[in-house]
Amino acid sequence: MTKYIIAVSGGVDSVVLLHKLVQQGDSVVVAHFDHGIRDDSAEDAMFVKRLASQYGVPFEVKREELGINASEDEARRRRYAFLKDITNKEKGTLVTAHHADDVIETIAINILRGTGWRGLAVFGDESIERPLVGLRKQELIEYAQMYNLSWREDSTNQSDKYLRNRIRRILSRLDDETHALLLQYWEEQVRLRGAIDQTVADHLGGNDEYSRYFFIHSTERAALELLRAVVMRSAGVSLTLPQRKKLLHEIKVARPASRVDAAFGVRIRFTKQSFIVEHPSKVV
């Protein structure tokens, strides 16, 4: 039987997800990450701990003191690092409570930030299951009310400090038909992302050394997409578009035996005909 690691914040979305999986008889572990951003975040952790105890399922928790000035991106990175650690330890599958409104909100945020096409194919990580993406927030609230479920309200959800909250209020005006159409577009983007990733993997093969000639003579769009995959596979780092453009320029002009810093401690070593991505832990 598959063991599911459920990310439970204590909010209505994850409370509903936990209830659904427990009712189905699935083997679950409740995982809660306390960012230490809000003064009352420890109360969320206690709530989720009691919830896990009520269902008689294992509970994993971690607290970090990220502080009130922590960005949404930093909080998300730390949360997923914890969740993936637990998933690996339990040899299970990570499950999150993202729903249809989350999909549209995330796409809107990415567009405002000047995203590339990947920003339209959000939540495409196939290692994470998201069984609620076909449901809207209101449907989850109605489910919780029907089963008399209790949940915690995150006080920061009302703050205009966070872009997502501002976007959420604007998108709440969308009618159901428009919302459904946007979800269809998203599903198509995710499908295309999978096809592109597979094509990229086929082109790269199993090499650790890459031809400069190949990248120089590829179209810029293809070369930039391939560079993303090369660095991610070799160093586990996702370069931004400007960083990849800079790296592509270096591939064209760098002298043999030279090294350049790509970003995040990743270095690229050049020979006359090829380049090698050096993971931070391997750089001396």
CATH code at position 53: 3.40.50.620
Average pLDDT, the chain: 89
Residue 145 in 3-state DSSP?
A: helix
* CATH code (residue 263): 3.30.465.60
Task: Give me 232's structure tokens.
Answer: 């991610």
- Structure confidence at residue 12 (pLDDT): 96
The helix, strand and coil proportions of the chain, stated in percent and rounded to the nearest 5, come to 55, 15, 30
Residue 108 inside a domain? The answer is: no
Residue 271 inside a domain? The answer is: yes
**pTM for the predicted model, two decimal places:** 0.78
Residue 71's pLDDT band (boundaries 50, 70, 90)?
confident
Least confidently predicted of 40-44, 69-73, 252-256? 69-73
Residue 114 inside a domain? The answer is: no
Q: Note down the domain range covering 260.
A: 206-282
How far from the centroid of its chain's Cα atoms is residue 214's Cα?
31
Residue 192 inside a domain? The answer is: no
Residue 177 inside a domain? The answer is: no
Q: How many residues does the chain have?
A: 284
Q: Is 30:57 a contact under the CB 8 Å cutoff?
A: yes
DSSP 238: -
For residues 214 and 240, which has the higher predicted lDDT (pLDDT)? Answer: 214
Q: Which of 162, 182, 215 is the last residue of a domain?
A: 162
Number of domains the chain is built from? 2
pLDDT greater than 60 at residue 283: no
Residue 32 in 3-state DSSP?
A: strand
Residue 167 inside a domain? The answer is: no
Q: Which of 162, 181, 215 is the last residue of a domain?
A: 162
Tell me, yes or no, whether 139 and 237 share the same domain. Answer: no
- Structure confidence at residue 140 (pLDDT): 97
Tell me, yes or no, whether 49 and 153 share the same domain. Answer: yes
Residue 197 inside a domain? The answer is: no
pLDDT tens figures, 87-102: 999 999 999 999 999 9
Least confidently predicted of 106-110, 127-131, 152-156? 152-156
pLDDT greater than 70 at residue 191: yes
pLDDT greater than 50 at residue 284: no
Q: What is the DSSP string of 165-216?
A: HHHHHHHTT--HHHHHHHHHHHHHHHHHHHHHHHHHHHHHTT-SEEEHHHHH
Tell me, yes or no, whether 50 and 133 share the same domain. Answer: yes
Tell me, yes or no, whether 142 and 243 share the same domain. Answer: no
Mean pLDDT of all residues in 164-187:
88
Residue 274 inside a domain? The answer is: yes
pLDDT tens figures, 261-280: 998 889 999 999 999 998 76
